[in-house]
Structure formats: structure tokens, C-alpha cells
């Protein structure tokens, strides 16, 4: 082997070692982040099987010794948990379906149609993202009350029917994923505008629809501020309101709160599992340019 070849291979080996050390540091950093984010969830899961006196024992007990199901029995037998659960799940499901339908239609219109005032309307809609929900919650309640639409199920769905983030997301994805040539070809074949959207656009928008569905479901399912304002009857409580009610005049029932939190997490995890592929595809769309 010549001296030139030896000098050439030496920088390559050094480069490989640098890449290997960089990957090790990256993996160590990611694992540490995973542990930091997972520890509160694991602690809550473990504590949901502990007696109330053992939850804040010192030194802390990582595992429930002995494990007990009394927290879950007390929650299901002594509290209207299933009523809270059904209300939250039904409201979140309706909100998600309506939100995905309206946002996909609006996003398609903003992306593929030309009409007067399009840029102004889109900028106005997009600028609303900078307004915190707490700022508009009182005017929104007044509008709903004046329209006599304060029935719990309708009022709980209102804020999530057409979120600006969802319209913006669908518009951006539609511009990239739906070629104009396919739309023009469908129109030449005699498709109506709605048929173009349903047959051409929707199949191509599946990843974005999945991502938007997960986001919409979680936003509605985890909402506390708006239900706190529009719901006054305990029979109509959502899960966040019900869990908050467990911090009542009888004391902070952390055992029941942790049990309720673990059961409340099941629909969110299930939605994420079922739509994980579409969610990842929708979130990574556009990261690699053709």
C-alpha cells in the first residue's frame, strides 16, 4: 500500500469515528429526553395502583407494593366517570369529524380556486392563530348565548368546527399533494366540483386528514376552559371537568384523580395508534423536496 493510500484512508477513519461519536451523543440525548418525558407518566401509572397514603410516601416507592385496584373501584362506583367519559368521547368525535370535513373543504378552496378577496380572507384567517383562545372565549360565549345554542353538546363542539390551524394545514398540504393536472383532467371527464374534491383530492389528502384528525380529537378531548364556561350541570361534565371536580370540598382525592387520568388516556392513545401512520406522513410532508 502506498503512502498516498494510507494518508487517504486515515482521514476517512477519523471521519467515521467522528460520525460514530456524534450518533452516540445524539442517541444518548434522545434517550434522556425519552426518560424525562416518560417518568411522569410512569409515576402516574404506578401511583394509580397505590393507596392514597403511599402516593406521596418518602422515600418514594417506584412500584405499588402492594398493588390495589381500590382507586379504580372507588372511581367507577362512587363517581359518574362513565358519563364524563361518554360525553368527552362523543363531543371529541363529533368535533373531529366536522373539523376534518370543513377544514379539508376550506383548504382545498384556498389552494385550488381563484376568487376575489382570497388573499385577504386567508391572511385574516391565518392571523387569528396569533390570538389566544382565552381572549375570544367571552365574545364566543356571548355569541352562542344570543343564538340560544347553549345546549351542552352543541356548545362544546362550536370552538372546534373550523380551526384556523386546520384550514392552514390542509391548504398547504393540498397545494403540494394534489396536482392541478389531475383536477383539470377530472373536470374534462365531466366531474362536478364536489366530485373532484371527493374522488381526486380526498384520497391524496389522507395523511393530512389523519394528522388533523388526531390534533382535533386531542384539542377537543383535553379542553377545560371552554367546558368550564358553558357547562353548569354536573351530569353534562366532560372528563377534564370531572377530574377537576375530584379536587372538591372533601379534599384532594389524588388516588381517584390518578385512576381517572389513566383511564382518560386510553382514547387518546387509541386514536394515536390507529392514525399513527397518517399522522407521521402528514407531519413530515414537505420535509424532503422532490
pLDDT in tens, 193-223: 888 888 888 888 888 888 888 888 988 999 8
Mean pLDDT, the chain, rounded, equals: 83
Q: Helix, strand, or coil here: 89?
A: helix
SS (H, E, C) 215-271: HHHHHHHCCCHHHHHHCCCHHHCCHHHHHHHCEECCEECHHHHHHHHHHHHHHHHHH
Q: Which residue has the higher pLDDT, 51 or 104?
A: 104
Q: Side-chain half-sphere of 101: how many Cα atoms within 13 Å?
A: 8
Rounded distance between C-alpha atoms, residue 104 and residue 209, angstroms = 8
**Residue 87, Cβ density class (10 Å: 0-12 exposed, 13-18 middle, ≥19 buried):** buried
Q: Which residue has the cell 398493588?
A: 67
The CATH class for the domain spanning 82-284 reads mainly alpha
> Would you list the domain boundaries of the chain?
3-47, 82-284
Percent of the chain with pLDDT over 90: 12
**Residue 214, Cβ density class (10 Å: 0-12 exposed, 13-18 middle, ≥19 buried):** buried
Rounded distance between C-alpha atoms, residue 188 and residue 182, angstroms = 10
pTM equals 0.80
Rounded distance between C-alpha atoms, residue 92 and residue 11, angstroms = 57
Rounded distance between C-alpha atoms, residue 164 and residue 21, angstroms = 43
**Buried-exposed string 242-271: b where 16+ CB fall within 10 A, e elsewhere:** bbeebeeeeeebbbbbbbbbbbbeebeeeb
pLDDT of residue 96: 92
What would the mean pLDDT of 57-84 be, rounded to a whole number? 84
Q: Which residue has the cell 444518548?
A: 28
* pLDDT tops 70 at residue 81: yes
Residue 24: pLDDT band (50, 70, 90) is: confident
Torsions phi, psi of 247, nearest 5? -90, 65
Bridge partners, 248 (sequence order): 251
- Cell numbers linked to 170: 390542509
Pairing status of strand 251-252 against strand 247-248: antiparallel
Amino acid at each position: 500500500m502506498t503512502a498516498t493510500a494510507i494518508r487517504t484512508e486515515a482521514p476517512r477513519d477519523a471521519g467515521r469515528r467522528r460520525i460514530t461519536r456524534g450518533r452516540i451523543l445524539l442517541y444518548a440525548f434522545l434517550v434522556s429526553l425519552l426518560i424525562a418525558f416518560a417518568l411522569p407518566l410512569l409515576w402516574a401509572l404506578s401511583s394509580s395502583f397505590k393507596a392514597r397514603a403511599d402516593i406521596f410516601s418518602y422515600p418514594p416507592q417506584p412500584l405499588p407494593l402492594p398493588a390495589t385496584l381500590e382507586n379504580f373501584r372507588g372511581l367507577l362506583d362512587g363517581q359518574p366517570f362513565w358519563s364524563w367519559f361518554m360525553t368527552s368521547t362523543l363531543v371529541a368525535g363529533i368535533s373531529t369529524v366536522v373539523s376534518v370535513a370543513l377544514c379539508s373543504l376550506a383548504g382545498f378552496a384556498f389552494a385550488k380556486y381563484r376568487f376575489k378577496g382570497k388573499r385577504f380572507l386567508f391572511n385574516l384567517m391565518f392571523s387569528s392563530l396569533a390570538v389566544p383562545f382565552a381572549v375570544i372565549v367571552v365574545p364566543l360565549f356571548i355569541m352562542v348565548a344570543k343564538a340560544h345554542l347553549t345546549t351542552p353538546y352543541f356548545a362544546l363542539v362550536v370552538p372546534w368546527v373550523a380551526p384556523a390551524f386546520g384550514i392552514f394545514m390542509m391548504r398547504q398540504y393540498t397545494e403540494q399533494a394534489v396536482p392541478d393536472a389531475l383536477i383539470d383532467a377530472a373536470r374534462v371527464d365531466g366531474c362536478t366540483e364536489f366530485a373532484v374534491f371527493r374522488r381526486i383530492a380526498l384520497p391524496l389528502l389522507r395523511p393530512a386528514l389523519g394528522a388533523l384528525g388526531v390534533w382535533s380529537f386531542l384539542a377537543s378531548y383535553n379542553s377545560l376552559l371552554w367546558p368550564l364556561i358553558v357547562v353548569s350541570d354536573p351530569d353534562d361534565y366532560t372528563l377534564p371537568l370531572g377530574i377537576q371536580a375530584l379536587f372538591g370540598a372533601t379534599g384532594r382525592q389524588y388516588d381517584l384523580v390518578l385512576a381517572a387520568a389513566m383511564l382518560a388516556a386510553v382514547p387518546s392513545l387509541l386514536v394515536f395508534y390507529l392514525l399513527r401512520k397518517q399522522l407521521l406522513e402528514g407531519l413530515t410532508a414537505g420535509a424532503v423536496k422532490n
